[in-house]
Amino acid sequence: MSKEFRHFIPESARYRGREFEYDVFSEVKATPEYEEAILKILNKRDLEVVKRIREGIEFTKELRPIVNEILRKIEKEKEKIMDIVKNYQPFDPTNPIDPRKPTQTFLKDLRLSIIEKLELDLEEKKVKVYTSVNTPLDVIGIDSFIVLEDDRPRVVTLDATLRREKLEKLQKADIVFSELPDPEINEEEYLQEVDKIADRIVRMWKS
């Protein structure tokens, strides 16, 4: 490992955070075609920095201006990155169940709750759900985004985190939330939390 970098988060904590994101949102299929598309927006150095951020590595004081520049670049180009990410989903955005984790139904439950609150038909295709875990978007705090394809498309971004301080200070996504109740232990509480998130999304779209 380069002397310019050093770990600052214990491996167990980093793993649990990554596992939590994956359990909630799954992750983008990082195929060679996906990587080629991303390289049209970000260069190899940018992507190496993204990788190191996701690994929980802190940068030296001298390198932080470069890192901040890359994060600003991702923020500026996030709509273009979203367009790429849409094409490499592990599931159908109107039926967001990853076949690798069929018991993880949060995104599907969230989408159904949104459709109900918008009073749309259950077969409606206007509401589409995407994961952005394991992409440059998740280093700027966007783990997922939900699109209402109406007269003008409306987007709400989501971030799931185990870091309590992020809920209060470092919010980048439109909606940040922490651990959810286990639906196998308390389905009612779980569905209540899903409904709360859906309420916030619908309010944002309507406003």
198 vs 4: which has the higher pLDDT? 198
pTM of the full predicted structure?
Answer: 0.86
**Residue-averaged pLDDT of the chain:** 85
Q: Give the chain's domain count.
A: 1
Cα 8 to Cα 5, 68, 137, 138: the distances in Å are 9, 18, 21, 19
Which of 181, 138, 113, 125 lies closest to 27 in space, CA to CA? 138
Range of the domain at 77: 5-206
179-207 pLDDT, tens digit per residue, is: 888 888 899 999 999 999 999 999 999 88
Q: What pLDDT score does 161 carry? A: 83
pLDDT reported for residue 162: 78
